[in-house]
């Protein structure tokens, strides 16, 4: 991006969110980090400031609509505008559980955080972006939002829904200056991946990926920064897989 924009990143306390907050800051932007774990969020802010970047952490549980609205309000109070948002916070829920054994509690939790929270984030972000003439939203989906996987039924359905929200919002705001896109990461080395993939599972997954390896949070961050860049002024409603070629097969 050519000028210092104000960027909001949810789930910024770890993994892809933390790496993306750092990437936006390194590109010269002012970054608002949101998450539930203040100690970790403040540590990312310190790391950004140590490199000369500008960042602020606000605690927020994205599954709470009031906290999401307050987050956007505080962003506007602090920096006066919102240019881009990365709706990244997500949970994997109960993975490797057979379809017919998935619980209603797991469905509700996964859809609350992965789908309804993304909708609520966009509902709060769009008016703020319209105030300043437009902006860019990037949602974090998954390759599990593009194709099916054994044992990931509820998570996969939630990520298909994120892609649905992305495409529909893109159409609604296409003439109002707001672009809405998604990234669909493949296996990425983060706390989430650690939770469901031991060394043996990692080896199996690597054999399924054309590049033969998992990705890094920084490799996803690059795609998010690219999608949010106003230079990509004709790119909207797209889902960019960052997956070592997995979905090209
Ligand atoms: N790691 C992968 O292989 C992979 C692959 C595809 C998609 N993703 C997606 O990437 C995103 C980031 O995950 P990650 O891999 O960096 O793992 P992660 O667990 O490090 O990050 C998820 C972040 O979301 C936060 N979060 C969860 N619920 C929240 C809530 N209610 N309110 C606020 N924050 C909340 C967590 O605290 C955490 O910081 C998720 O949406 C995930 O589904 C990850």
Show me where the domains of the chain are located: 6-234
Going by C-alpha positions, the residue among 225, 202, 201 that lies closest to residue 215 is 202
Lining ligand 1 with CB less than 6 A are 11, 13-17, 35-37, 61-63, 88-91, 113, 140, 142, 185, 187-188, 190-193
Average predicted confidence (pLDDT) for the chain: 97
pLDDT at 96: 87
CATH number for 6-234: choose from 3.40.50.720, 3.30.1600.10, 1.10.10.10, 2.40.50.140: 3.40.50.720
Residues marked active site are found at: 155
Share of the chain above pLDDT 70, in %: 99
pLDDT at 218: 98
pLDDT at 196: 86
pLDDT digits (tens, 9 = 90+) for 60-97: 999 999 999 999 999 999 999 999 999 999 999 999 89
Band of residue 2 on the pLDDT scale cut at 50, 70, 90: very low
Band of residue 1 on the pLDDT scale cut at 50, 70, 90: very low
CA distance 75 to 24: 16
CA–centroid distance, 4 to ligand 1, in Å, is 26
CA–centroid distance, 62 to ligand 1, in Å, is 11
| Cβ-proximal residues to 150 (8 Å cutoff; 6+ apart), any chain | none
pLDDT digits (tens, 9 = 90+) for 193-220: 999 899 999 999 999 999 999 999 999 9
Instruction: Report which ligand 1 atom has the smallest distance to the Cα of 63.
Output: 31
Measured by CA distance, the residue closest to atom 37 of ligand 1 is: 11
Supply the pTM of this predicted model: 0.98
Q: Average pLDDT in the 49-54 region?
A: 98
Q: Which of 33, 192, 206, 220 to mutate to test the pocket of ligand 1 (most atoms within 8 A of CB)?
A: 192
Instruction: Report which ligand 1 atom has the smallest distance to the Cα of 215.
Output: 3
pLDDT at 46: 98
Q: Which of 9, 10, 16 to mutate to test the pocket of ligand 1 (most atoms within 8 A of CB)?
A: 16
């Amino acid at each position: 991006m050519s000028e210092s924009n104000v960027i909001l990143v949810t789930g910024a306390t770890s993994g892809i969110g933390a790496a993306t907050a750092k990437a936006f800051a390194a590109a010269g932007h002012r970054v608002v980090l949101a998450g539930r774990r203040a100690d970790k969020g403040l540590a990312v802010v310190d790391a950004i400031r140590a490199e000369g970047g500008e960042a602020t952490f606000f605690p927020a549980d994205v599954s709470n609509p009031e906290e999401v609205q307050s987050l956007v309000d505080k962003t506007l109070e602090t920096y006066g505008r919102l240019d881009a948002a990365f709706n990244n916070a997500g949970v994997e829920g109960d993975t490797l559980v057979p379809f017919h054994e998935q619980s209603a509690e797991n469905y509700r939790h996964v859809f609350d955080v992965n789908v309804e929270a993304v909708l609520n984030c966009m509902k709060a972000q769009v008016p703020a972006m319209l105030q300043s003439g437009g902006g860019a939203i990037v949602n974090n989906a998954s390759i599990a939002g593009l194709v099916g996987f054994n044992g990931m039924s509820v998570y996969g359905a939630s990520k298909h829904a994120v892609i649905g929200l992305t495409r529909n919002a893109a159409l609604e705001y296409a003439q109002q200056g707001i672009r809405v896109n998604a990234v669909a990461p493949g296996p990425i080395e983060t706390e989430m991946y650690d939770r469901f993939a031991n060394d043996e599972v990692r080896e199996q997954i690597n054999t399924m990926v054309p590049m033969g390896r998992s990705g890094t949070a920084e490799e996803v961050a690059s795609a998010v920064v690219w999608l949010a860049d106003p230079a990509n002024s004709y790119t909207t409603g797209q889902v960019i897989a960052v997956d070592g070629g997995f979905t090209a097969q």
